């Protein structure tokens, strides 16, 4: 193992520890730097809302489709999109399993968030690591220092695509593209 690989491994272990204790971290993904916590920790999610200055519903990052079955309803449209574009830069809006609202889900194609999710055993929040209305950071150097000071830990690494995920709403027919980004679904 190289020094760089060893350092990353230590950072991932520290991030897992922070997540398990209910903390908030910043980490690279295949698209842009993300900010997250365990999906089932309401106080950590409230903290992210406070940090970002946003009351929106944050997307979930999952490591496999089976992780989502008790959280969301995967319709046939979402299933087809997932088969074509996951893992990757496509966030799919689906209905919550409770029937109370919608939420975005995504399987990233990046080792760091996938490893974090696997090690803590549950999905994580995967919102961009920025204050509401600011540009999404694509490198550690792009991260706002004030934002870094408000979270518990930062994992260093590279973002592959350097563009936000594409967001589609699979609950409407035809499917609505809410944000164009890393994946071109217009030919789907």
Q: What would the 3-class secondary structure string for 144-156 be?
A: CHHHHHHCCEECC
Q: What is the pLDDT of residue 186?
A: 82
Helix (H, G, I), strand (E, B) or coil at 79: helix
17-31 in b/e form (b: 16+ CB < 10 A) is ebbeeebbbbbbbbb
Q: Hey, CA dihedral for 22, 25, 27, 29, is it positive or negative?
A: positive
Question: d(Cα 51, Cα 62) in Å, to the nearest integer?
Answer: 23
Helix (H, G, I), strand (E, B) or coil at 99: coil
Residue 188 has pLDDT above 60, yes or no: no
At 32-75, the pLDDT tens digits run 999 999 999 999 999 999 999 999 999 999 999 999 989 999 99
At 70-120, the pLDDT tens digits run 999 999 999 999 999 999 999 999 999 999 999 999 999 999 999 999 999
Place of tokens 């967001």: 167
Question: d(Cα 155, Cα 8) in Å, to the nearest integer?
Answer: 8
More reliable by pLDDT, 123 or 187: 123
E-assigned strand segments in 76-140: 90-96, 102-106, 124-125, 127-128
Which among 98, 117, 99 is positioned nearest to 108, based on CA atoms?
Answer: 117
- Average pLDDT score over residue span 115-126: 97
Residue 1's pLDDT band, with cuts at 50, 70 and 90, is: confident
Average pLDDT value for the chain: 96
pLDDT above 70 coverage of the chain, percent? 99
Q: What is the pLDDT of residue 103?
A: 97
- Average pLDDT score over residue span 130-156: 97
Task: Classify domain 3-179 at the CATH superfamily level.
Answer: DHBP synthase (3.90.870.10)
Query: Strands 153-154, 25-27: parallel, antiparallel or unpaired by DSSP?
Result: parallel
* Encoded tokens for 157: 């690494």
Decide: pTM greater than 0.85: yes
The residues near 153 (Cβ < 8 Å, ≥ 6 apart) are 11, 14, 15, 18, 23, 25, 26
């Amino acid at each position: 193992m190289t020094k760089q690989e060893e350092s990353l491994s230590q950072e991932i272990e520290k991030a897992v520890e922070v997540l398990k204790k209910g903390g908030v971290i910043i980490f690279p993904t295949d698209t842009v730097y993300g900010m997250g916590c365990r999906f089932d920790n309401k106080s950590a999610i409230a903290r992210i809302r406070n940090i970002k200055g946003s009351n929106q519903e944050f997307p979930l990052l999952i490591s496999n489709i089976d992780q989502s079955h008790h959280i969301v309803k995967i319709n046939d449209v979402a299933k087809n999109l997932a088969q074509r574009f996951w893992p990757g830069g496509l966030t799919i809006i689906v209905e919550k399993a409770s029937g109370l609202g919608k939420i975005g889900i995504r399987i990233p194609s990046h080792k760091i968030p996938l490893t974090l999710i696997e090690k803590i055993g549950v999905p994580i929040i995967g919102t961009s690591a920025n204050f509401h209305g600011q540009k999404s950071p694509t490198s550690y150097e792009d991260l706002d220092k004030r934002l870094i000071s408000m979270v518990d830990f930062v994992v260093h690494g590279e973002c592959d695509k350097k563009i936000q995920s594409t967001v589609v709403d699979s609950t409407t027919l035809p499917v609505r593209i809410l944000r164009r980004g890393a994946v071109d679904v217009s030919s789907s």
